[in-house]
Structure 1
C-alpha cells in the first residue's frame, strides 16, 4: 500500500529542464503542476475532515439537549441509531480519511515533490556557464537549491491546509452558530473580520523579514562552507580566528533578522490572545442572554463555547502555519533570484552533434573582453591545421587561457567566430563540443569520489584494461597502490577527498592526465598540464604525453617554455594579439619577445648552440 502511493510521483523526470517562470505563483505552479491531481485530492480530504470536525461540535450540542429532553428509559431506543452513525464516523470514517490523507500527503508528496524540484533545478544549474559559478559561493547556491525545494513543498501544502481548512471550518462554525440564532453567530463573524485584519497587517511584515532571513542564512552558510572548503589555506596563513570573525559578521546579520521576526511574532501572540479572550467573553455573554430569553438551548451554548475553545487553540496553529507559510514564501523569493537566472550560454534548438573528421581549428576575427572596457582579444585570427601541435606563449594576461576557454565555449565570443573543421562551435551542442576536446588544466580539482570514478570520468564506459593502461601511461600506478582512505578502501577504490585534497598537486595532475588519456578526444588542450609535477615525474610522463598527442590537434599553454619548445609551431601573444610565430629555433634566432622570455628562463643568457639543441627541447624531442 505504501509503495503504491510512493510511486505516484516521479522524482527524477527525464524532460530537459527549462528556466522556471519569474513570477512567484508561476514559479510555484511550475513545480506543483505535475502533482496537481494529488493536491486536489489532498484539498478534498482536508475539506472533508474540517466538515466532520465542525459536525462533531454540532452533535455534541444535540447530545446535551437530548440529555435534557429524552427520558433515560427510552434514550437508547430513540437516539441509538444517531449515536451509532456518529460512532461509525468517529471510529471508522475519520481515521480512514486521515489514513488516505496521510498516504497522499506523506507517501506521495512529502519526499517526491522536493526531490523532483532538486533534481530538475540541479540539472538546470549545471547548465550555467562557468562564470555563474565563479561569481557565486558553491555553498550558497547549494543551500538555496535545498531550502527552496522544501519551501515550495511547504508553501503548497500549508496553503491548502491553512486556507482551505480555515475557509471550510469557519463557514461551518458560522452556519452552526446561526442555526440556533443568528445573533450567536455575530461574535464569530466579528472575530473573523478582526483576525483577517490582523493577519493583513502582520503577514506582509513577516514576509519581508523572512525573505531577508533566507538571504542572510544562505550568506552565512556560504561563508562557513567556503572556510571548510579552503581549510588548508586558512591554516596555512593562521587565520582561524579571522575566519571565525568573518563568519560571525554573517551570523550577526542572520541573528538580526531573527530578532525582527521574533518581535513581530510576540506582538502577534499578544494581539491574538486578546482577540480570543474577547471572543470567549462575547459568545458566553450572548449565549447567556439568549438562553435567559429562551431563544437558544443549553446544547447550542455548549456547542458554541466548545467551538470558541477549539478556535482558541486553532488560531494559534493558524498563526504559526501562516508565519511558516510566509517564511517559506520569503525563502522562495530569495531562491528565485538565483535559481531562475537564464543560461548565459545556450544551445541552438537545431544544433547537431559536432563531427571532427580532420581536427582543424580556426579563429576568425575573434573579440572578447570579459565585460570590461579593454579587449583581451580583438580581431584575433589563428588557424591550427589538422594534427598540428601549437604552443601559446606570452606574459600573464596575454590571452592564452582566454583562447582555450573560448574554444571550450566556457564563454561565447563577442565578435567573430571559432570554427572546428568549418563548423561554428556555437552551432553545436556544448556537450558535443566538449566531448571532442580533452583538456588538462593547471588547477586540477578532483571529484570527492574514488580514484576509479575520477579517471573513468574521461570515458565512463571504458573497461578495466583501458582504465589501467591510462593510469600506467600517466605514471600514476605506484602511488595509487599505496592509497587508503578512512573507511579502509584502497587503491582505485580509495576516495580522494573534496577537490582531491588527500592527494598532492602532482598526484592530482597525474590523475587528470590519466583521465584525458582515457578520454582520447581528437582535440587536446594543455593549460600548464605538467606545472604541478617535479622534473623527474615530468620527464617520465613526457613520453606518454607526446604519444597521446599523436594524430591529434594540440594547443598547449606553458610558462615553462622547455615543455613546449619541441612543438610544431609556437604562437607568441602580447595584449591579445599575435606578435610572433614559428618554431622554437626561428623565434630564438629572431631575438624578439620569445627570445627574451627564453633567455630569462635559462639564466639570462643563451649558451652557444642552444638555438635548436637546448637541454629542455632535446629531452622532449628524445621523448617524442
Structure 2
C-alpha cells in the first residue's frame, strides 16, 4: 500500500532541461503542473475532512437537543438511524479520509515532489556556463537547489491543506451560526474581517524579512563551505581566527535577519490571540444571552461554543500556515534568482554533433575580452594542422589559457569563429565538442569518489582491464595499490577526498593523465600537464604522452619550456596576439621573446640553478 502511494510521483520523470520561468506563479506552475492530479486529489480529501469535522460539531448540538426532547427509554429506538449515520461519519469516513490525506502528503508529495524540484533544478544548473560557477559560492548554489525544493513543496502543500479548511470552516460556521440566530454570525464576521486585515498587513512584511533571512543563510553556508574547501590554505597561512571573523560576520547578519523576522511574527501572534479571545467571549456570551431570551437552544450554545473554540485553535494554525507559506515563498524567490537565470552558453536549435575526421583547428579572427574594455584576445587567427603538435608560449596573462577555454566553448566569442574540421564550434553540440577534446590541466581536481571512478570518468563504459592499463601507462600503478581511505577501502576502491585532497599533487596529476589516456580523444590539450610531477616521473610519463599524442592534434601550454621544445611548432602570444611562430630552433635563433624566455630558463630548472651559480661566481 505504501509503495503504491510512493510511486504516484516519479522524481526522475523524463523532462526537458528547460529554464524555469522568472515569474513567481509561473515558476511554481512549472513544477506543479507535472504532478497536478495528486494535488487535485489532495484538495478533495482536505475539503472532505474539513466538512466532516464541521459535521461532527453539528452532531454534538443535535445530540444535546435530542437528549432534551427524547425520553431516555425511547432514545435509541427513535433516533437509532440518525445515530448510526453519525457513527459512520465519525468512526469510518473521518478516519479513512484523514488516512488517505496523510498518505498523499507523507508518502506521495513530501519525498517525491521535493526531489523532483531538486533533480530538475540540478540538471538545469549543472549546464550553466563555467563563469556562472566561478562567480558564486558552490555552497550557496547547493543550498539554493536543496532549499528551493523543500520550500516550494511546503508552500504549495500548506496552501492546499489550509485552503479548504479556511473556506469550509468559515462558510459552514457562518451558515450554522446564522441558522441558530442571525445575530450569532455577527461576531464571527467581524472577527473574520479583522483576521484577514491582520494577515494582509503583517504577512507580506514577514515574507520580505524571511527572504532576507534566507539570503543571509545562503551567504553563511557559502562562507562556511568556502573555508572548508580551502582548509589547506587556511592552515598554511595560520588564519583560523581570520576565518572565524569572516564567518562570524555572516552569522551575525543571519541572526539579525532572523530576529527581525521573528519580531513581526510575535506582533502578529499577539494580535491574533487578542482577536481569538474576543471571538470566544463575544460568541459564547451572545449565545447565552440569546438562550435566556428563548431565541436559541442549548444545542446551539454547544455548537457555537465548540465551533468558536475550534476556530480559535484553527486560527493559530492558519496564522502559522500562512506565515510559513510566505516564508517559503521568500525562500523560493531567492532560489529563483539562481535557478531561473538563462544559460549563457547554449546549443543552437539546429546544433549537430561534432564529427572529427582529421582534427584541424582554425581560429579565424577570434576576439574575446571577458566583458572588459581592453581585449584579452584581439583578432587572433591561427590554424593548427591535423596531427600537429603545437606549443603555446607566453608570459602570464598573454591569453594562452583563454584561447583553450574558447576552444572548449566555456565562453562564446565576441567576434570571429573557431572551426574544427571546418565546423563552427558555435553550431555544434557542446557535449560532442568536449567529448572530442582531452584535457589535462595544471590544477587537477578529482571527484570525491574512488580512484576507479575517477579514471573511468574518461570513458564510462571502460572495463577494469582498460582502467588498469591506463593507470599503468600514467605510472599511477606505482602508488594506487598502497592507497587506503578512512573506511578501509584499498587500491582502486579507495576514495580520494574532496577535489582529490588525499592524494599528492603528483598523484592527482597521474590519475588525471590516466583519465585522459582512457578517453583517447582525437584532440588533446595539455595545460601545464606535467607541472606537478617530479623530474623522474615526468621523464617516465613523457614517453607515454608522446604515444598518447600520436595521431592527435595537440595544443600544449607550458611555462617550463623544456617540456614543449620538441613540439612541431611553437606559437608565442603576448597581450592576446600572436607575436612569433616557428620551431624551437627557429625561435631561439630569431632572438625574440621566446629566445629571451629560453635564455632565462636555460632549458629548465637545472639550467636555472647553473645560471644562478654562474651569477654568484
TM-score range for the pair, normalised by the shorter chain length: over 0.9
Tell whether the 8 Å contact from 1:599 to 1:606 is kept in structure 2 after alignment.
no
**Residue 497 of structure 2: SS of its match in structure 1?**
coil
Unaligned runs of 5+ in 2: 609-617
Aligned ranges for residues 146-185 of structure 1 at < 5 Å?
146-185=146-185
Name the residue aligned to 2:47: 47
Per-residue CA distance 1:367-421 (angstroms, 9 max, x = gap):
0001111001111000000100000000000000011000000011110000000
Question: Segments of 4+ in structure 1 off by > 4 A?
Answer: 603-607
Name the residue aligned to 1:206: 206
Using the size of structure 2 for normalisation, the TM-score is 0.97
CA distance in 1, matches of 2:368, 2:445: 27
Q: State the shift of 1:519 in Å.
A: 0.1
Work out whether 1:468 is the aligned partner of 2:468: yes
CA distance in 2, matches of 1:340, 1:400: 33
CA distance in 2, matches of 1:579, 1:255: 56
Name the residue aligned to 2:103: 103
CA distance in 2, matches of 1:478, 1:606: 26
Aligned ranges for residues 575-586 of structure 1 at < 5 Å?
575-586=575-586
CA distance in 2, matches of 1:190, 1:547: 86
Unaligned runs of 5+ in 1: 608-614, 616-624
**What is the RMSD computed on CA atoms of the aligned residues?**
1.5
Per-residue CA distance 1:316-359 (angstroms, 9 max, x = gap):
11111111111100000011001110000000111111001000
Name the residue aligned to 2:294: 294
- CA gap of 1:605–1:510, structure 2 versus 1, over 3 A, is closer
CA distance in 2, matches of 1:57, 1:465: 74
Aligned ranges for residues 200-349 of structure 1 at < 5 Å?
200-349=200-349
**Residue 111 of structure 1: SS of its match in structure 2?**
helix
Per-residue CA distance 1:420-470 (angstroms, 9 max, x = gap):
000000111100000000000111000000000000000010122211111
Aligned ranges for residues 59-98 of structure 1 at < 5 Å?
59-98=59-98
CA distance in 2, matches of 1:91, 1:97: 11
Q: State the shift of 1:312 in Å.
A: 1.3
Q: State the shift of 1:100 in Å.
A: 1.4
Name the residue aligned to 1:551: 551
Per-residue CA distance 1:554-576 (angstroms, 9 max, x = gap):
00000000000000000001111
Name the residue aligned to 2:489: 489
CA distance in 2, matches of 1:450, 1:67: 75
Tell whether the 8 Å contact from 2:46 to 2:165 is kept in structure 1 after alignment.
yes
Q: State the shift of 1:604 in Å.
A: 11
Per-residue CA distance 1:83-104 (angstroms, 9 max, x = gap):
1111111111111111211222
Aligned ranges for residues 528-547 of structure 1 at < 5 Å?
528-547=528-547
CA distance in 2, matches of 1:271, 1:606: 80
Aligned ranges for residues 345-360 of structure 1 at < 5 Å?
345-360=345-360
Using the size of structure 1 for normalisation, the TM-score is 0.96
**Residue 479 of structure 2: SS of its match in structure 1?**
helix
Name the residue aligned to 1:611: none
Q: State the shift of 1:603 in Å.
A: 8.3
CA distance in 1, matches of 2:460, 2:448: 16
Tell whether the 8 Å contact from 2:387 to 2:554 is kept in structure 1 after alignment.
yes
Compare 315-324 and 25-34 and name the one that shifted more: 315-324
Name the residue aligned to 2:517: 517
Name the residue aligned to 1:434: 434
CA distance in 2, matches of 1:146, 1:336: 12
CA distance in 2, matches of 1:266, 1:109: 30
Q: State the shift of 1:285 in Å.
A: 2.2
Tell whether the 8 Å contact from 1:13 to 1:120 is kept in structure 2 after alignment.
no
Name the residue aligned to 1:16: 16
Per-residue CA distance 1:580-609 (angstroms, 9 max, x = gap):
1100001001111000000111289999xx
Compare 183-192 and 100-109 and name the one that shifted more: 100-109
CA distance in 2, matches of 1:531, 1:334: 42
CA distance in 2, matches of 1:252, 1:446: 34
Name the residue aligned to 2:501: 501
